[in-house]
Amino acid sequence: MEKRKYLILRIIFVVASVLLLFTLQTALLGRIPYLNIVPNLVLCCVSSFGILRGRRRGLWIGFTAGLLVDIFYGGPMIGFFALIYMYIGFLNGLFSKIVLKDMVMVPLIFVTGSEFLYHLYVYLFSYLLRRRLGFLEYVKGIMIPEFALTIVFMLVLYGILESINSRIKHAERKGEMTIVA
């Protein structure tokens, strides 16, 4: 019974994080004037949970977050973003046991690689298949500015997500339910 409480708490934490970051990305940050790009907070969330929780949970969190993006953004087809976010969550989760999760550089390296994979996927299947061949324009106009913004936001987000995740882990080990200090 005690283990079930922590499982429910983790599910609530993950769902709330994904929904909050998705809402921030779509509703608030998309409304900033003179900003043609938006940091990919959903990618930050998926990457973070992949690092923190492992490949299987990273895969499922990535799939559900990607499905949410598919439903609300309406990509080329349903499952377009679910597939790439699923792979990103899985790939980040592969390294969850061998990386130091509390170091700042680790999530930055992983989110940079994830952002690169994401943009390569979007370019190949969204732009290139429609015969838009301006890769350098895509890199200069979309990829590099979004990289920069996403990395800045990842610095803050990963610290918050890692802190809450470690508090849940610590409380689970001690057997207490008070997480907020």
Q: pLDDT tens for the chain, 181 residues: list them.
A: 477 777 888 889 999 999 999 998 888 776 666 667 888 999 999 999 999 888 999 999 999 999 999 998 876 688 899 999 999 999 999 988 887 766 778 888 899 999 999 999 988 888 776 676 778 888 887 888 888 888 988 988 888 888 888 888 888 777 665 555 4
How many beta carbons lie within 10 A of that of residue 31, not counting itself?
9
In the numeric block, which tokens belong to residue 14? 């993950």
CATH architecture of 2-174: Orthogonal Bundle (1.10)
Model pLDDT, residue 163: 87
- For 135-144, the CB contacts below 8 A with 24+ separation are 141/36, 142/37, 143/119
CB 83 within 8 A of CB 117: no
Residue 32 and residue 146: Cα distance in Å, rounded? 14
Model pLDDT, residue 178: 53
- For 132-136, the CB contacts below 8 A with 24+ separation are none
CA 140 to chain centre: 23
Model pLDDT, residue 88: 96
Residue 88 and residue 111: Cα distance in Å, rounded? 9
Q: What is the pTM of this model?
A: 0.86
For the chain, state the CA radius of gyration: 17
Residue 26 and residue 28: Cα distance in Å, rounded? 6
